[in-house]
Amino acid sequence: MKKFFIALLIFVVLFFLGLIRLSPTISGGDSAELAGAGATLGIAHSPGYPLYSLLGRIFTFLFPFGNFSYRMNLMSLFFASLTCVLVYLIVLSLSGRILPAIISTFTLSFTKMFWAQSLVSEVFTLNTFFAALLIYILFNYQLSTINYKLIYLFSFLFGLGLGNHHTLVLLLPGFAYFWWKSLSKEQRAKSQERRSLLCPMPYALCFFVLGLSVYLYVPIRSLRQPLFDWEDPQNWQRFWGLVTRARYGTLQLAQGGKLNLDFSLIGKGLFFFFQILNETITPLGTILFFLGLFFLFLRKDFDKLSPEELKDSRPSGIFLTLLLFFSGPFFLSLSGVTTLSPGIRYILERFVTLPLIPAVIILGVGVEWILNRSRALRLGYLLLLFLPGLLLLKNFPVINQRNNFFFCDYGKNVLRNAKDNSIIFSDRADETEFSLAYLLNSEGKRRDLKFIDCNAGVSRSIYGDDYYRVWGKPRLARRETVEKEIIATTKREVYYSTLLPEQTVIPKYSYGLLYKVKPGEEKIYWQDFYFLRKPLENDIRAENLFLSYYNLLGKYFLEIRASKQARIIFSGLKVYGEKKDWLLAIAYLYYRKGYLTEAEKEYKEALKLNSSWPEALCNLGVIYEQKNNPEKAIEFYQRAIRAKPDYPEAYYNIGVIYWKKGEWKKVVKYFEKVLEYAPEHEGARRYLPMAKGAIEEFKIRK
C-alpha cells in the first residue's frame, strides 16, 4: 500500500509542477497540427498517429475547459506523469528500495527534453508511457507460473503503442531477448511446461495484430473527410504510403537522400547519444548510469537465481542495454546525423526521450549499488537532493511554456492580413501551415477564408490524386497550372503565405505578412495587426519565424516607401533582443530597398555589439562603394579580412575597386586570394585571366 501511495503522490506532484508551466495554446514543431487532429478526430502527418488522435478526442471531451490545444497539452502532461510513476514502480521492483526509485523518477521528470515534451501537444510522452508500461509488465512477469493473460496484454499493448509512434519497434530486440532468455530458462524444466510457454504464441500474435488494427481508423476516418486529413489516405496506396512514411522514407526523419548505414555512422550515433545523455542527466547522472550497468553485468550466477531474482541478474542488464542501444545510438545512426548542429539537435532531442526510460532505470540500479556499499543512507539522501535537485534548479526557470503565445499570435496576424472571403495558398514551413490550419479548422477562426496547403498536408490535394508522389520541378509545374486556373476564374482576393514568392512563375506583390497576386492601391498599416508576443529563448524555429515576421512587414513598408512605419516595425524587433542575424537582416532590407543611409546606420549599430562581424564590415564596404567612396570601402573590406582572413567576397570586392582604377597588379593579387579560398568563385575565375592579360598588354605597349 505504501508504494502505491508514494506512486500517487509522485503523479500529483509532477502533474502540478507541469500544470503551472503548461503551454496555454499551440506551440512549435508539430504541436498545432497534432492538437488540431486530436480535437477534430483528424489524421496527422505520417504515419497518421491514429491512437494519439483517438485519445486526444477523448481528452478534449473529458476536460471541457480551455482551448483545444490546451486540452491536448494536458494529455501530454498526463502521460508524462504516468510514465514517471511506472519508472518508479520498475526501479522499486529492481532494487527493493524506495530511495533509488524516487531518485531515478525525478531525474527523468526534471530532464530538459522530457519535461519540455510534457508541456506541449506532442506524441512523445505517450510513447514513453507505452515503453515504461511494457517494461513494467515484463519485469513483473513470473516464470514460475505461466500467466497467459500478461502475455496477451503485453502483445496487445505493443501493437497498440505502435499506433502512436513507430519508434516503439526499436525496443523489439530487447523484448525478443527477454522472451528468448525466459524460454531458455524454461527449457531446463519439464517438457510440458516448455510447451505451455510456446502455446500462447499464436494467440499473442493475434492480440498484437488486434492492437495494431488501430490503424484501420486512418482510412475509415479519411472517408468522412475530416478537417485534418494528411495525404487523404482513402485508398490502399495512399494509406500504405502514409503509414510507411513514403514521403520521407520509412527510416528517415525528413525528406532527403538514401541512407547508407555503416559502422562509422553507428560510431557517431553512440558518440552523439552519450553526449546528449551526459548533458541531459549531468555528469553525476552519467556516473550513476555506468555504475548501474556495472552492477547489472556483475551478476554471473544466472543458473542459481530463482525466478524472483531474475530481474536482478545479468540478463536484466543485457535487456535494458538492448532497449537503450536500439532506441538511442542505433536510432541516431539511422537518422544519418554526422554533426550535432543546433538545428539538428532541435529535431533529434525529442526522440531521445524514449531511450531515457531504460537509461534512468539503469541509473536507479546505480544508486542502489551505492546504497549497498554505504554505511548509512546519508549518501543516498544527498543524491536525492543533489541530482534531481540540480536538474530542477537548472531547468525549472527555462522549461516554461506558460507564456508561449507566439505561434498563436503569428497565425492570427496572418489571418488578419487577409481580406474577407479570400483564398490563402500556403507553402511555408510546418509551424505556419499548422498554426493556420489549427486556428481555421479547430478554433473556427475566419470561416470566410479558403485555406489551401500547397503541400497537400493539412488540406486535401487540389492538384490531383497522384500529387503526393510528385516532387521537384514536376510538382511546381503542377502547382502553377492549377493555381493559375483558380486565380483566373475566382472573384475572390488571392494571397500567398510564402517566403519564396519566386518559387512559382505567378506574379506576387508584397502585402504585409502575405503576398497578393493582383496589385492594388490599398495599403495596410502596422496598427492593423494583433500584437506579437516574444518567442521562447533558444527556440530556433520560433526565432526564425519571428525574424521572418518582421522581415516581411519591414520589406512591405519599405516597398511602399513608408519608411516611418518600417522603422516602427524594426524597433519592435530590437526590443526583443539585438541579435546578430536580426540586426544584419534589418540593415540588408534597407540596403535592398535603396535606403543606403539607414542601412549604414544599422550596420554601424550592429558593429557596436561586435566590431569584428565580417558580414557587417563587408556590407558597409559595399555601401561606401555605392556612395562613390572607394577608399572608405577598401578600409572596411580590409577590416572584414582581418576579422575573417578566408573571406573571399571581401577580397573580390577590393579587386573590383582596383579593376575600376586600372591597377591590374592589385587586381591579380586579390583575385588570386579569392581563388585560394573559393576555387569555384565564378567572377574571379572569369576575370583573373583578363587582368593578367591587361598586365601583359601594358608591358608590350611600354
Tell me whether residue 179 is exposed, middle or buried, using C-beta atoms within 10 angstroms of its C-beta: 0 to 12, 13 to 18, 19 or more: middle
Tell me whether residue 662 is exposed, middle or buried, using C-beta atoms within 10 angstroms of its C-beta: 0 to 12, 13 to 18, 19 or more: exposed
At 189-224, the pLDDT tens digits run: 544 455 555 667 788 899 999 999 999 999 999 999
Report the largest interatomic distance among the alpha carbons of the chain, rounded to a whole angstrom: 108
Residue ranges per structural domain of the chain: 2-250+262-395, 406-528
DSSP 3-state of 386: helix
438's grid cell? 489549427
Q: Which DSSP letter does residue 43 get?
A: B
At 626-667, the pLDDT tens digits run: 999 999 999 999 999 999 999 999 999 999 999 998 888 898
How far is the C-alpha of 52 from the C-alpha of 122, rounded, in Å? 9
How far is the C-alpha of 611 from the C-alpha of 595, rounded, in Å? 22
Residues in the chain: 702
Q: How confident is the model at residue 188 (pLDDT cuts 50, 70, 90)?
A: very low
Q: How confident is the model at residue 607 (pLDDT cuts 50, 70, 90)?
A: confident
656's grid cell? 573590383
By C-alpha distance, which of 407, 450, 399 is closest to 429? Answer: 407
User: Is the peptide bond preceding residue 645 cis, with omega within 30 degrees of 0?
Assistant: no
- What is the pLDDT, as a whole number, of residue 43? 94
Write the CB contacts of 602 (distance below 8 Å, at least 6 apart in sequence). Answer: 570, 583, 586, 587, 590
Task: Find residue 451's DSSP bridge partners.
Answer: 424
How far is the C-alpha of 594 from the C-alpha of 445, rounded, in Å? 38
How far is the C-alpha of 121 from the C-alpha of 53, rounded, in Å? 11
* pLDDT at 69 exceeding the cut of 70: yes
CA distances to 176, 185, 186, 370, 537 from 191, in Å: 21, 12, 9, 41, 63
How far is the C-alpha of 401 from the C-alpha of 429, rounded, in Å? 21
Query: DSSP labels for 609-629?
Result: H-TT-HHHHHHHHHHHHHTT-
At 392-438, the pLDDT tens digits run: 999 998 899 999 999 999 999 999 999 999 999 998 777 889 999 99
304's grid cell? 542459481
Q: Which DSSP letter does residue 532 get?
A: -
Tell me the whole-structure pTM to 2 decimals.
0.86
At 559-588, the pLDDT tens digits run: 888 878 888 888 777 767 666 677 788 888
**HEC readout, 279-290:** HHHHHHHHHHHH
Write the CB contacts of 28 (distance below 8 Å, at least 6 apart in sequence). Answer: 120, 407, 431, 539, 541, 542
Write the CB contacts of 611 (distance below 8 Å, at least 6 apart in sequence). Answer: none
Q: How confident is the model at residue 302 (pLDDT cuts 50, 70, 90)?
A: very low
By C-alpha distance, which of 572, 615, 632, 570 is closest to 595? Answer: 570
**Averaged pLDDT for residues 124-151:** 83
- What is the pLDDT, as a whole number, of residue 159? 97
DSSP 3-state of 65: coil
Q: Are 434 and 54 in contact (CB under 8 A)?
A: no
Write the CB contacts of 158 (distance below 8 Å, at least 6 apart in sequence). Answer: 130, 134, 168, 175, 208, 211
